Structure 1
Amino acid sequence: MSIRQEVLDRLTSLRLHQQRGRRAPHKPLLVLLALGQLDRGGSSELAWSQTQERLSDLIAEFGPASKTGRAQSAAYPFTRLRSDGVWTLNRDVPMDLVGPLAAHDVVGRLDAATESALRKDPDLVRRVARALVEQHFPPTIAPDVLTAAGLDPDDILQAPGVMPVPARRRDASWRVAVLQAWDRQCAFCGYDGQLGHASVGVEAAHVRWWAFDGPDSPDNGLALCVLHHKLFDFGALGLDGDLRIEVSAAFTARTPAGRSTYDLHGRMLQPRPGTQVPAIVHIS
């Protein structure tokens, strides 16, 4: 096996914590942060004092909701990524503890062999970064994750794919079927703009992300406008078990345009007869 392939395999096969069927992307976010640091400065070295806040922000914005404190959430991947054999710390500290990280301002970095291979091969950095966001985030959010990690999304998302034989194959007909089922209009706000004969700004959205084993099935899809698709994937919007739209209490807006999102709260989905609605297993 080539060194390039070995690095790809190791960085895209991280062991992730799972809770209620959802994988926590803490380790991939730390690796992306290290790749951004490497891309900018030639070294993946990240000091805890300078990284804690950035990593905490990434986890809070793109990870699952957690009752754990921000520093504690960042300490998990910063210490536990060592167990995957791709991360080293300049001091041997216990797993998960914030105190020793702060007391000694511990420095972490990708292991020497991995960093050397990445430094010599900028294309490998792009391939790894693309693979990580495609594995763990939907396409609506991937550019935001890369930008927040200090990487150029236009550059990264044009890199060649690294998974020649995906574990699951997408259903090429799923998108068209979902849009047709929902009359090519946003299931939340009713937007149905067209340019000529083509819908514009309306997308097929997974209720349960593909990255979290959401299937390409009619009961896992909604037609959503671009805005509400992104808000849905971010968790600003959701559904309850009665198919009513929920607006997250964490979502805020100041302008009338932004505050119009509040009006969606409590609105029930109104599919046409025969349309398969999202299954409870995917909503939950």
Structure 2
Amino acid sequence: MTFSQEVLARLTSLRLHQQHGRRAPHKPLLVLLALGQLTHTGTSELPWSHAQERLSDLIAEFGPPSRTSRAQSAAYPFTRLRTDGVWTLDRDVPMDLTGPLATHDVAGRFDSATESALRRSPELLRRVARTLVERNFPATVAPDVLTAVGLDPVDVLQASGVASLPGRRRDAGWRRAVLQAWDRQCAFCGYDGQLGNASVGVEAAHVRWFAFDGPDEPDNGLALCVLHHKLFDFGVLGLDADLHIQVSAAFTARTPVGRATYELHGRELRPRPGTLVPAATHVTWHRREVFKGKPLSV
């Protein structure tokens, strides 16, 4: 194994708490933020005064729902990434505590050998970034994550040599089967645009994300228009136990077009006879790990 391969493996095989499908993107988001910092400034160094705000914003936007304070959520990866052997702090402080980080404005950065390898090889940096986003986020969300950390999504998502998920292979026929089962129309709004014989703007969406053990099975899929697929993966939209659409109370819109999203709240899925609806276990996972906050009050 070359040193570049070792760096790729170390930065993309972080110790995460993902038991029972729980999402923990905190460390990957910190690594991505440091990669963006390195790209723009030539150094991965992130003082806590800078990292706290940016990292807590990233965790709130792209992480699962949490009752932990924003500063505390950022302190976990900022101090614990040291245990993966890729991150150093300029002062030895206890794990998880925000007080010492703020008092001394502790700075974190990649260890010198890792940072040198990434600085010498922009392609290695892109491979690390692409592997991290593809292992932790669906394709609808990955470009937004990369943009938020200061990386070019077009550049990163074209990187070669990306490590796939161990033991997982996508079913090439799953997308077509899901679209056919839902009559090639959005299960939420009914949009069914076609260009010739091809559906345009309608996609097959995983309820439980593929990266988190979501199977390519009919009962883990919905046909959704591009807009509602993205809102579903961001946690704006969800499903309750009775398969009624839920809209997050955290979502706001001002224009009539945006406010039309509110009208989806409480709408029942109406699949054609014989179509498998999302399984309860996948709906529960999405509600726990993706849906943001509480649903709108009826």
User: What range is the shorter-chain TM-score in?
Assistant: over 0.9
Relative to structure 1, is the Cα distance of residues 106 and 216 closer, same or farther in structure 2, using a 3 angstrom cutoff? same
Which structure is richer in relative contact order (CA contacts within 8 A, separation 6 or more)?
A: 2
SS at match of 1:109: strand
Q: Which residue of 2 aligns with 1:250?
A: 250
Q: Which residue of 2 aligns with 1:222?
A: 222
Query: How does the TM-score come out when normalised to structure 2?
Result: 0.94
Q: Which residue of 2 aligns with 1:32?
A: 32
Structure 2 unmatched ranges of 5 or more: 285-298
Deviation for aligned residue 1:161 = 3.5
CA distance in structure 2 between the aligned counterparts of 1:22 and 1:254, rounded to whole angstroms: 33
SS at match of 1:184: coil
Structure 1 unmatched ranges of 5 or more: none
Aligned residues: 284
Range with bigger deviation, 228-237 or 153-162:
153-162
Range with bigger deviation, 9-18 or 272-281:
9-18
Q: Which residue of 2 aligns with 1:68?
A: 68
Q: Which residue of 2 aligns with 1:153?
A: 153
- Preserved CA contact (<8 Å) 2:146 2:152: yes
Give the partner amino acid of 2:249.
A
Mapping of residues 100-119 of structure 1, within 5 Å: 100-119=100-119
Query: How does the TM-score come out when normalised to structure 1?
Result: 0.98
2:60 paired with 1:53: no
CA distance in structure 1 between the aligned counterparts of 2:166 and 2:25, rounded to whole angstroms: 19
Q: Once the two structures are aligned, what percentage of the paired residues are identical?
A: 80
CA distance in structure 2 between the aligned counterparts of 1:202 and 1:179, rounded to whole angstroms: 8
Deviation for aligned residue 1:50 = 1.1
CA distance in structure 1 between the aligned counterparts of 2:282 and 2:145, rounded to whole angstroms: 23
CA distance in structure 1 between the aligned counterparts of 2:177 and 2:112, rounded to whole angstroms: 48
Relative to structure 1, is the Cα distance of residues 20 and 253 closer, same or farther in structure 2, using a 3 angstrom cutoff? farther
Q: Which residue of 1 aligns with 2:261?
A: 261
User: Deviating runs (4+, > 6 A) in structure 1?
Assistant: none
CA distance in structure 1 between the aligned counterparts of 2:20 and 2:53, rounded to whole angstroms: 27
- Preserved CA contact (<8 Å) 1:130 1:161: no
Q: Which residue of 1 aligns with 2:86?
A: 86
Relative to structure 1, is the Cα distance of residues 191 and 152 closer, same or farther in structure 2, using a 3 angstrom cutoff? same
Q: Which residue of 2 aligns with 1:195?
A: 195
Relative to structure 1, is the Cα distance of residues 132 and 164 closer, same or farther in structure 2, using a 3 angstrom cutoff? closer
Deviation for aligned residue 1:51 = 1.3
SS at match of 2:274: coil
- Preserved CA contact (<8 Å) 1:131 1:161: no
- Preserved CA contact (<8 Å) 2:88 2:109: yes
- Preserved CA contact (<8 Å) 1:179 1:203: yes
Deviation for aligned residue 1:83 = 0.6
CA distance in structure 2 between the aligned counterparts of 1:95 and 1:167, rounded to whole angstroms: 33
Deviation for aligned residue 1:213 = 1.1
Deviation for aligned residue 1:28 = 0.1
CA distance in structure 1 between the aligned counterparts of 2:19 and 2:106, rounded to whole angstroms: 28
- Preserved CA contact (<8 Å) 2:23 2:63: no
CA distance in structure 2 between the aligned counterparts of 1:261 and 1:164, rounded to whole angstroms: 35
Mapping of residues 115-154 of structure 1, within 5 Å: 115-154=115-154
CA RMSD of aligned residues (A): 1.0
- Preserved CA contact (<8 Å) 1:75 1:96: yes
Deviation for aligned residue 1:23 = 2.3
Give the partner amino acid of 1:268.
E
